[in-house]
Chain A
Amino acid sequence: MSATITSTAQPRPRQRQSVFRNPIVRAVIALVTFVVLWEVGSRLKLPWVGDVPPPTVVLKALIPLLTDQGYWYSWYQSSRRVFTGFLAAMLIGIPFGLAMATSRIFRDVTFPVFEILRPIPPLAWVPAAIIFWPTQELSIGFVIFLGAIFTIMLNVIGGARSIDIRFFQAARSMGSSNWDIFRRIVLPGVLPSIIVGCEVGIGITWNVVVAAEMISGGGGAIQSSAGGGLGFFIWSSYIGGSYPLIVVGMISIGIAGYISSMIIRRLGLLATPWVRVR
């Protein structure tokens, strides 16, 4: 009998410990602490945070928006633009990066142009994008595309160059053709870097979404105050002087970026099972 008593008594302190070991609990604690500090700082008019609307006010502004079609349409608009811009960046960036990594001639020819274009911030492309492209949507997509492509390309090139030379030597000795080496060594070898590039890249697309949607001028099928996407939502809230709505827009983009990166990360783990087991 006494044995059963001691065995039931032991796990308890462990269980109490494990609540704080749970990463979700930790995340919730961090978020709650952040919101509380923000609320207190804002209410007490502390320097810097004093001018930011407190979370309760932001929440008050957000609640009516949750049933507002225009707000969700902004989510849809921005997500669609980010997705297409990002997809274009992947479709062009990955093959381009692979070509630059595998062909010396191609690299020598394209690298200087690439390096000059790379430091130009996407915001600086906005006027040019408006002039270049026939429609507003294409201009917006182009700016988002520029946000992601250089990071993706750089990661592809770096990833391909860091593949162990012995892999190529071993493959060549065992009778692999160039195509076989490309398919079975280069592609899987750069895949982890492609995923890292995409993860960082999709974050940048959300970074540039405000700049890109300034082009839109509120355009869109639904003529609501928020029809131009989340980026435009922030811009128009600023013009309208509604500080709580600016914060709502910012947080919306933050959440959207987090979800996007998480999706890429999950897909990446599925595509590279050998990385997971390490």
Chain B
Amino acid sequence: MTATPSVQGKLREGIKAGEIKVAGLSKDYGDARFRTQVVKDCTFTIERSKLTVMIGPSGCGKSTLIRLLAGFEKPDSGTITLNDAPVTGPARDRLVLFQESALFPWMTTWDNILYGPRARGEMGLETIEMAEFLLAKVGLAQFRKKYPSQLSGGMQRRAELARAMINNPSVMILDEPFRGLDAMTKELMWEYYSRLFEETRRTNFFVTTDIDEAIFLADRLLIMSNIPCQVRATLDIDIPRPRTLLAMVEDDRANEIKMSALSILHEEAMKSFSRGSKAAADFVDAYSRRVKG
């Protein structure tokens, strides 16, 4: 690493991992006549310093849940607390990495990373040092003057990770961040991202629809039911870290967890399928093939 050890020490030392508790959360959409309860009486905990992965069929209300956690929207009922303090709106302690890139297209990698500190007027020497360190950490030191459109998909995701990390959030929320990447890049990003998590042990909440991604990354796996969005099952993934892709393929425990997770997901999808949801139909199709295969 090019950065001084003191900076790296600072990165780890400065992290105040948080814990989010969600209790009885509900959120409706639509007008009085056509009301859909997207999230209903949803309760779970995002444990401190753990990587919690939430998996569920697409369109099950995960993105709604993320908007509520981030504070972009208000729940109809129920509470969200971060370290026992209620969440009232968007703040730097809960940063979201969105699906696909949300880097500002008009800013270079460097300016994107420094967006948060600049907004808060925290542009001291320490911040610049940290930005340099993170830039090297995500392997983009030579790309500091490039605009997002000049970066590859994987680079964009890494730049966005750096942009979030410089703000030192106590919880990082990732909404299908590796969706749209090619299979190869995606698997490299899994390894990269889990190393990063292991180094920092920040609380991470990761949402996905990909079972392999979920099991590779997770400490705890939350399996969601389709609309209304509720936690259907919680699995502890007790596979030691650091994990490697190759070891995971051969690991019996990993395959066991995958099977039980898939059977729950399948059952859940069948239920929604009978209710006639298009998303659920696709889901059943995709997952039943994998369960049998």
Chain A residues within CB distance 8 Å of chain B: 164, 166-167, 169-177, 180, 184-185, 188-189, 191, 272-274, 277-278
Binds A, one of B21-29, B114-122, B196-204, B219-227: B114-122
Q: Classify chain B: how many residues form its interface, as a range.
A: 20 to 34
Q: Which residues of B contact A277 (CB under 8 A)?
A: 147, 149-150
Q: Say how far B67's CB is from chain A's closest CB, in angstroms.
A: 8
- CA of A274 to CA of B91 in the docked complex: distance in angstroms? 28
Are B102 and A170 neighbours in the complex by a CB distance under 8 Å? yes
Q: Which residues of B contact A170 (CB under 8 A)?
A: 95-96, 98, 102
Contact of A175 among B70, B120, B147 (CB under 8 A): B120
User: B78 within 8 Å of A by Cβ?
Assistant: no
- CA of A42 to CA of B288 in the docked complex: distance in angstroms? 74
Q: A173-B90, A174-B115, A180-B119 are in contact. Are A167 and B104 (CB under 8 A)?
A: yes
Are B98 and A166 neighbours in the complex by a CB distance under 8 Å? yes
Q: A180-B119, A274-B149, A277-B147 are in contact. Are A173 and B95 (CB under 8 A)?
A: yes
- CA of A278 to CA of B151 in the docked complex: distance in angstroms? 10
Are A166 and B102 neighbours in the complex by a CB distance under 8 Å? yes
Nearest A residue (CB) for B150: A277
Q: Which residues of A contact B94 (CB under 8 A)?
A: 173
Nearest B residue (CB) for A166: B102
Nearest A residue (CB) for B98: A166
- CA of A174 to CA of B167 in the docked complex: distance in angstroms? 7
- CA of A189 to CA of B106 in the docked complex: distance in angstroms? 8
User: B86 within 8 Å of A by Cβ?
Assistant: no
Q: Say how far B132's CB is from chain A's closest CB, in angstroms.
A: 19
- CA of A169 to CA of B148 in the docked complex: distance in angstroms? 18
18 A-B pairs, CB-CB below 8 angstroms?
A166-B98, A167-B102, A170-B102, A173-B70, A173-B71, A173-B91, A174-B95, A174-B116, A175-B92, A184-B115, A185-B104, A272-B106, A273-B147, A274-B105, A274-B149, A277-B147, A277-B149, A278-B149
Q: Which residues of A contact B104 (CB under 8 A)?
A: 167, 184-185, 188
User: B72 within 8 Å of A by Cβ?
Assistant: yes
Q: Which residues of A contact B115 (CB under 8 A)?
A: 171, 174, 184
Given contacts A170-B96, A171-B119, A274-B107, 12 further A-B contacts (CB under 8 A): A167-B102, A167-B104, A174-B167, A176-B119, A184-B118, A184-B119, A185-B104, A188-B106, A272-B106, A274-B149, A277-B147, A278-B149
Nearest B residue (CB) for A177: B119
Are B92 and A173 neighbours in the complex by a CB distance under 8 Å? yes
Q: Which residues of B contact A176 (CB under 8 A)?
A: 119
Q: Which residues of B contact A180 (CB under 8 A)?
A: 119
**Interface 1/0 per residue, B87-115 and A, CB below 8 Å:** 00111101110100010111100000001
Are B90 and A172 neighbours in the complex by a CB distance under 8 Å? yes
- CA of A184 to CA of B120 in the docked complex: distance in angstroms? 13
Contact of A274 among B96, B98, B106, B120 (CB under 8 A): B106
Q: Which residues of A contact B91 (CB under 8 A)?
A: 173, 175
Q: Say how far A268's CB is from chain B's closest CB, in angstroms.
A: 13
Most buried by B among A170, A171, A191: A170
- CA of A49 to CA of B227 in the docked complex: distance in angstroms? 68
Nearest A residue (CB) for B120: A175
Are B72 and A175 neighbours in the complex by a CB distance under 8 Å? no
Are A175 and B149 neighbours in the complex by a CB distance under 8 Å? no
Nearest A residue (CB) for B173: A173
Enumerate B17-73 residues with CB–CB distance to A below 8 Å: 70-72
What are the 5 closest A-B residue pairs judged by CB atoms, nearest first?
A: A174-B116, A188-B106, A176-B119, A274-B147, A166-B102
Q: Say how far A49's CB is from chain B's closest CB, in angstroms.
A: 46
Nearest B residue (CB) for A278: B149
- CA of A191 to CA of B148 in the docked complex: distance in angstroms? 17
- CA of A171 to CA of B167 in the docked complex: distance in angstroms? 12
Most buried by A among B89, B94, B98: B98
Q: Say how far B42's CB is from chain A's closest CB, in angstroms.
A: 21
Q: Which residues of A contact B92 (CB under 8 A)?
A: 173-175
Q: Which residues of A contact B95 (CB under 8 A)?
A: 170, 173-174
- CA of A205 to CA of B70 in the docked complex: distance in angstroms? 47
Q: Which residues of B contact A272 (CB under 8 A)?
A: 106
Q: Which residues of B contact A172 (CB under 8 A)?
A: 72, 89-90
Q: Which residues of B contact A173 (CB under 8 A)?
A: 70-71, 90-92, 94-96
- CA of A52 to CA of B105 in the docked complex: distance in angstroms? 50
Q: Which residues of B contact A175 (CB under 8 A)?
A: 91-92, 116, 119-120, 167
Contact of B96 among A169, A184, A189 (CB under 8 A): A169
- CA of A184 to CA of B115 in the docked complex: distance in angstroms? 9
